[in-house]
Amino acid sequence: MSDKYKYMLDEKDLPKAWYNINPDMPISPGPVLHPVTKEPVSPEFLSVLFPMRFIQEAVSTERWIEIPEPVREVYKLWRPSPLIRARRLEKALDTPAHIYYKNESVSPVGSHKPNTAVAQAFYAKDEGVTGYTTETGAGQWGSALAMACNFFDLACDVYMVRVSYQQKPYRRIVMQTFGAEVSPSPSEKTAFGRKVLTDNPDSLGSLGIAISEAVEAAVTSNGKFKYSLGSVLGPVLMHQSVIGLEALKQFEMADEYPDIVIGCVGGGSNFAGFAFPFLHKKFTEGKATRFIAVEPTACPTLTKGPYTFDYGDTAKSAPIVKMHTLGHTFVPPGIHAGGLRYHGMAPHISALCHHGAIEAVALNQLSTFKAAVLFAQAEGIIPAPETAHAIKAAIDEALKCKEEGTKKVIAFNFSGHGLLDLAAYDAYLQDELVDYAYPDELIQETTKDLPQVSEALMTE
């Protein structure tokens, strides 16, 4: 057994191909439907929004998809990322469990999100597009895409949820430093934004509204701009698989293998990126690993939302997919884990959860901050409030091991650091944060207006 703290790979060990879970799905993630006709979308419809290469990846059944060399070159700025054995946390918990985390906070913008932003920016550049439109909540995704667009000399037009734009200036400044244009959403720049503002001039915005604006801006740009989404879609999950693929090699170096794999879920991309390569091992080699997706009780998509068809955005202009959803009109309460507040969930993760291949848990805000502070004091890194959900779940499992006297190997994805989220820590330390569980009555309310999809497609 190794006595190391960090497991570091060489640049030459950077994966050459992403893992595409499509051919290994035990259950179909369902078709992607046109928001108006509610029939399966044509590639022509999607090509208004996305680069061709991205669309091809979405439907590909190749298990391994080569990472283009220009993308690998940018990855090398921070990848491979370290796998760390959290020995000081183990000691603080006095647990016989071994706890490991894959540290994605080492990317230049501090989260896993550049893993897909860089790939998407390269595809757009390669196809002669001028730039991207996108939405961002707290600004993690916008920062990643702004950086990637800057590397590939593309324009970046970001719609940032208004409440975050007002309350969280630092990531706006990061985006602007990379040359992006950032607007608070709802904005006056789009017809949908103007409509929302007419109905409610004080609208704080939501990811669903910001997506609608970004989609509209791309659709009305005469092909100059494509639209980029930082989570949920199959190709995004696949781009993130570099995380798990590296981790597999690092666990070999450590001569261990995880019994439990954990990640927080907003749209599902960092969880998928970390977990799917291990899930592949489970499917092909029968490894008995448990997979736990962790969400906030304030946005309990997997644990409380029905598994059905819903629009990806509030204006019903984005495609309809089959997923666990709280309804496209869901407006999340103001918890600090901004990245975990999307109304839906990646169709692949929804399907795997429905099938029983992965488990889901919902955790309260205060318990996650408590875990984050414990982690920071033991390991020295302040986690993003999103990441704190994965940490709390890992700590819970480690404490179960202590009770049972079992020595499990627990691995979680450290999706990002919290150094631009210190206002949230301040609120926690000042005792200003409260717990909030999204009430069942409200879920019934926001899931009343789901698209009616034909019987044949429902069961496909």
Ligand X SMILES: *Cc1c(COP(=O)(O)O)cnc(C)c1O
Q: Using CB under 6 A, list all residues that contact ligand X.
A: 111, 113, 140-141, 231, 264-271, 339-340, 384, 386-387, 415-416
CB of 124 vs ligand X, minimal distance in Å: 20
CB of 240 vs ligand X, minimal distance in Å: 7
CB of 56 vs ligand X, minimal distance in Å: 22
CB of 265 vs ligand X, minimal distance in Å: 5
Q: Which is nearer to ligand X, 212 or 387 (CB)?
A: 387
Paired sense of beta strands 155-161 and 64-66, if any: unpaired
Percent helix / strand / coil, the chain, rounded to 5: 45, 15, 40
CB of 395 vs ligand X, minimal distance in Å: 17
CB of 137 vs ligand X, minimal distance in Å: 7
Amino acid type, 457: L
Q: Which is nearer to ligand X, 123 or 141 (CB)?
A: 141
CB of 215 vs ligand X, minimal distance in Å: 18
Q: Which is nearer to ligand X, 71 or 272 (CB)?
A: 272
DSSP 166: H
Residues in the chain: 460
CB of 76 vs ligand X, minimal distance in Å: 21
Q: Which is nearer to ligand X, 95 or 268 (CB)?
A: 268
Query: What SS3 state is found at 327?
Result: coil
Please return the burial class of 135, using the count of CB atoms within 10 Å of its CB with bins 0-12, 13-18 and 19+.
buried
CB of 105 vs ligand X, minimal distance in Å: 8
CB of 255 vs ligand X, minimal distance in Å: 29
Question: Which residues touch 292 (CB under 8 Å, ≥6 apart)?
Answer: 260, 261, 262, 263, 358, 359, 360, 361, 393, 397
The rounded distance, in Å, linking the Cα atoms of 342 and 321 is 14
Q: Which is nearer to ligand X, 231 or 447 (CB)?
A: 231
Q: Which is nearer to ligand X, 125 or 266 (CB)?
A: 266
**Closest CB to ligand X: residue number:** 416
Question: Residue 148, CB half-sphere, CA atoms under 13 Å: how many?
Answer: 33
Q: Which is nearer to ligand X, 129 or 384 (CB)?
A: 384
Residue 179 CB neighbours (<10 A): 14
The rounded distance, in Å, linking the Cα atoms of 306 and 38 is 19
CB of 86 vs ligand X, minimal distance in Å: 17
C-alpha dist (Å) from residue 149 to 117, 130, 157, 222, 225: 8, 10, 10, 19, 12
| DSSP state string for 362-431 | EE-HHHHHHHHHHHHHHHS-PBPTTHHHHHHHHHHHHHHHHHHT---EEEEEE-BB-TT-HHHHHHHHTT
Q: Which is nearer to ligand X, 137 or 453 (CB)?
A: 137
Q: What is the per-residue burial (b if ≥16 Cβ within 10 Å, else e) of 20-44?
A: bbbeebeeebbbbbebeeeeebeee
CB of 233 vs ligand X, minimal distance in Å: 10
Query: What SS3 state is found at 167?
Result: helix
Q: Which is nearer to ligand X, 196 or 313 (CB)?
A: 313
The rounded distance, in Å, linking the Cα atoms of 405 and 408 is 9
Q: Which is nearer to ligand X, 265 or 401 (CB)?
A: 265
User: What residues form DSSP beta bridges with 413?
Assistant: 102
Q: Which is nearer to ligand X, 140 or 228 (CB)?
A: 140
Q: Which is nearer to ligand X, 121 or 349 (CB)?
A: 349
Residue 150 CB neighbours (<10 A): 17
